[in-house]
Structure 1
């Protein structure tokens, strides 16, 4: 009986050690995989505009009767044009994020919301999400001119009136990647990572 108990204890310790080795190996593989997975940036779709293209200044009316200038040279300030729609669930989930980011980056960034369609629905969305501080324009031509095909979509225009970065926005990470791409002087975070891998 004692011999069987001793043998079972040995087998148990062998199993525990083997399990520990397997967990360590798995943890190492997860670490390797994490290093290989690049941070996701805003997805740039096939569009007719590119980073570096000039955005001519446009005077547009907002839904509350004000005027806002989109594009063109802006002294010391960049401009984010964020395209949304009342019937877009992802857009609605990102509006609190947009408000937070716009507030945090307000020293250098002006944010404009853009859409098209039913003006009454846009007013309801503005009221529901507390977006009164943002200029909100309804302009199908603005969306077409900036190559917007899916929502939510962001276009960051730099101080010189040129597109600094753009892409489909599905998360806070995507939104912040527009700023990161501008800071690094690249078309997108994916472009930066591709260049870095080539140089490595």
Structure 2
């Protein structure tokens, strides 16, 4: 056998082995994808529970007008709790702008915090938050037992809490919408029920 023929045979064998390895890796990635559930917002069990009516709040907005949270109406509301000094909250501002536009047909986005009004007015101006209703209310945070921020609560048009949780990225925020759409308290319970149906 000539060296050239031998080299061609070795190359074809190597190519076949490489194809087998790629196929095996692709299969493993598919298996991992099925096993790893999407991570949703971390839900706290205190405050108004999911499926319960929320207390109604009538609050003045620092960006003008008044805000009604929990009142009956045709639209849902996501109340996003933030702080002027929270870096993750600042990272979420472009996400909130995007969500406000994308979900404008059914959802209102309300920003909520507490503390010194002047600091918040400066924050609104610096971060360009005039497009959002922005309320200051320690009682609002206490009602929902907000312990860490950023935190969001999704309330439907009937004043019912549909989803809530700690929000660190866009996927966490969208997991609230998914949980509400699928009538599950959290995205995790949705995944668990889906796994049971597949079993």
Normalised to the residue count of structure 2, the TM-score between the two structures is 0.89
Distance 1:14 1:170 in 2: 48
Q: CA deviation at 1:81?
A: 0.5
Alpha-carbon contact 2:76-2:154 (below 8 Å) kept: yes
Alignment of 1:135-146 (within 5 A): 135-146=133-144
Alignment of 1:166-185 (within 5 A): 166-185=164-183
**20-29 or 43-52: which moved more?**
43-52
SS of the residue corresponding to residue 129 of structure 2 reads coil
Q: CA deviation at 1:35?
A: 2.2
Alpha-carbon contact 1:56-1:71 (below 8 Å) kept: yes
Distance 1:13 1:141 in 2: 72
SS of the residue corresponding to residue 159 of structure 2 reads coil
**47-56 or 58-67: which moved more?**
58-67
List gaps (5 residues or longer) in structure 2.
none
Give the structure 2 partner of residue 54 of structure 1.
53
Distance 1:185 1:193 in 2: 12
Distance 1:89 1:189 in 2: 25
List gaps (5 residues or longer) in structure 1.
none
Q: CA deviation at 1:146?
A: 0.7
Give the structure 2 partner of residue 32 of structure 1.
31
Q: Is 2:69 the partner of 1:70?
A: yes
Tell me which of 120, 123, 126 is aligned to 1:125: 123
Q: Deviations over 1:51-76 (max 9, x none)?
A: 0121111122223463322223x221
Alpha-carbon contact 2:41-2:164 (below 8 Å) kept: yes
Aligned residues: CA RMSD:
1.9
Alpha-carbon contact 2:54-2:159 (below 8 Å) kept: yes
Distance 1:155 1:170 in 2: 14
For these two proteins, the number of residue pairs brought into alignment is: 198
**83-92 or 113-122: which moved more?**
113-122
Distance 1:6 1:161 in 2: 77
Q: Deviations over 1:122-160 (max 9, x none)?
A: 222212232112111111221121121111111011111
Q: CA deviation at 1:5?
A: 4.6
SS of the residue corresponding to residue 21 of structure 2 reads helix
Give the structure 2 partner of residue 97 of structure 1.
95
Distance 2:32 2:138 in 1: 43
Alpha-carbon contact 1:96-1:129 (below 8 Å) kept: no
Give the structure 2 partner of residue 79 of structure 1.
77
